[in-house]
Structure 1
Amino acid sequence: MMLHIPEVLTADELNTCRRLLAEAGWIDGRETAGAQAAQVKRNFQLPENGDITQQLQQIVLGALNRHPLFFSAALPKKILPPYFNCYTGEMNTFGNHVDNAIRTAANGQFRVRADVSCTLFFSHPHEYDGGELVVEDTFGEKRVKLPAGDMILYPSSSVHRVEPVTKGARTASFFWTQSMIREDERRRLLYDLDLNIMALREQYNETAEIVNLTSTYHNLLRMWAET
């Protein structure tokens, strides 16, 4: 499943993140890439344990924790603390690659199986040329360039790349989630069911049929979830 999640950040949070990113000291993004990805990765990244990185992580994780659409789609068990990157100048692209299946937190205290990948945009689309995230999967090839504050969610098993930024700078956060539901197909079914239940509840309030559908949702979650 590939999903555009709008307005993950409030206007104030976005402004704060953009200010912090403008003050940041960037390093070569290849320092955190796997062996295959390092061959095609040409961008900047924030140090994993830097003060600005930690401030940004708190803002992003706080926004995710309150966002019902993210929870419904990802059904997160663990979230790797977000990373932050910048594409500009000669450090402006990331070729085709697949994310490592297992990611380790910067402090080494826990590992995350990468089920769901996310990119949260900080730059407005008019501020840079190029820089589209291109994701290739069973749903075909999708090209993504979202408004600042919006996020794209997609399976971590997908081949993807970032097209060269030919003008300006593209800044974003990226991170991985281990889902309570390992299989993407099951996550999609639960997400579709959850959205339809919410729409029916808004239209008809709490009917017996909606209660039964809600029971079905939770029983499927109970059957499939890893907690």
Structure 2
Amino acid sequence: MLLELRAVLAPDEVAAGRRVLDAGPWSDGRVTAGEQAMLSKRNEQLPESCDAARQVQQLVLRGLERNAEFFSATLPRHIAPPLFNRYSGETNTFGDHVDAAIRFLPGGAMRVRTDISCTLFLSEPDEYDGGELVVEEAAGITRRVKLRAGDMVVYPGTSVHRVEPVTRGARVASFFWIQSMVRSQERRRLLFDMDNRLRDLRSRLGDADPAIVGLTGTYHNLLRHWADV
């Protein structure tokens, strides 16, 4: 399931994050690439242990915490610390690849299965040309994504995807991975659809309606059956 989430960060938060990120320090983005991805990756990345990265990580995580649609869609068990990349000049593209299945976090204290990939855009679309995230979905469908600063896209970590060459300006973004409590993409989609419909019914019928109570119980019983916590 590919899903676009609007306004994960407010404009003032984007501006604050960009002030920190634009000052760097930026380095070769291949440091986090797997063996296959390294062959096609040409971008810059902020070292994940630097003060700038840690500062903006907290900004991103606070945005995620208050976004109900994000939690409904991803049902996160673990969120890998957000990373930051920049595409511009000669380091301007990332060819077709699939993200590594397991992300080893700094220090070796934890591993995250990359069920879901996330890109949070931190540049406005008119700041750069090119730079679309292209995701291959099932049945040969291809989605091209270029969102406003503060918007985010989530998509299956199993997807072949790429970033088109940036031919003008700079594309700055945060990227990270999620290990979901519900491993199956199909089950996550069913739960997300059910939760959306429940929220719509609550807005019209109220929380106390017997049908709402029963359906909410069914949702949580399914989540209890499928979730790994």
TM beyond 0.5: yes
Overall identity of the aligned pairs, in % = 59
Q: Does 1:117 align with 2:117?
A: yes
Look up the equivalent residue of 2:149 and give its one-letter code.
A
Matched AA of 2:31: E
Query: 3-state DSSP class of the match of 2:108?
Result: coil
**Moved runs in structure 1, 4+ residues, more than 4 A?**
none
> Deviation at 1:113?
0.3
Alignment partners' CA distance in 2, 1:106 and 1:123: 27
Alpha-carbon shift at residue 32 of structure 1 (Å): 1.3
Count of aligned pairs: 227
Match of 1:211 in 2: 213
Kindly report which structure 2 residues correspond to 1:1-227, keeping only aligned pairs within 5 A, or say none.
1-138=1-138, 140-206=141-207, 207-227=209-229
Letter in 2 for 1:110: M
One-letter code of the match for 1:203? R
Task: Give the secondary structure class of the aligned counterpart of 2:36.
Answer: helix
State the distance in 2 between where 1:14 and 1:203 align: 34
Alignment-mate amino acid for residue 148 of structure 1: A
**How far apart are residue 15 of structure 1 and its match?**
1.0
For 2:32 and 2:179, locate their aligned partners in 1 and report how far apart those are by CA, in whole Å: 19
SS in 2 for 1:86: strand
Unaligned runs of 5+ in 1: none
Q: Relative to structure 2, which stretch is displaced further, 98-107 or 175-184?
A: 98-107
Q: What is the SS of the residue equivalent to 1:99?
A: coil
Q: What are structure 2's unaligned runs of at least 5 residues?
A: none
**SS state at 1:49 partner:** coil
Q: Secondary structure at the match of 1:107?
A: helix
Letter in structure 1 aligned against 2:125: P
Q: Cα distance, 1:107 vs. partner?
A: 2.7
Could you state the TM-score of these two structures normalised by the residue count of structure 2? 0.98
Q: Compare 156-165 and 206-215 and name the one that shifted more.
A: 206-215
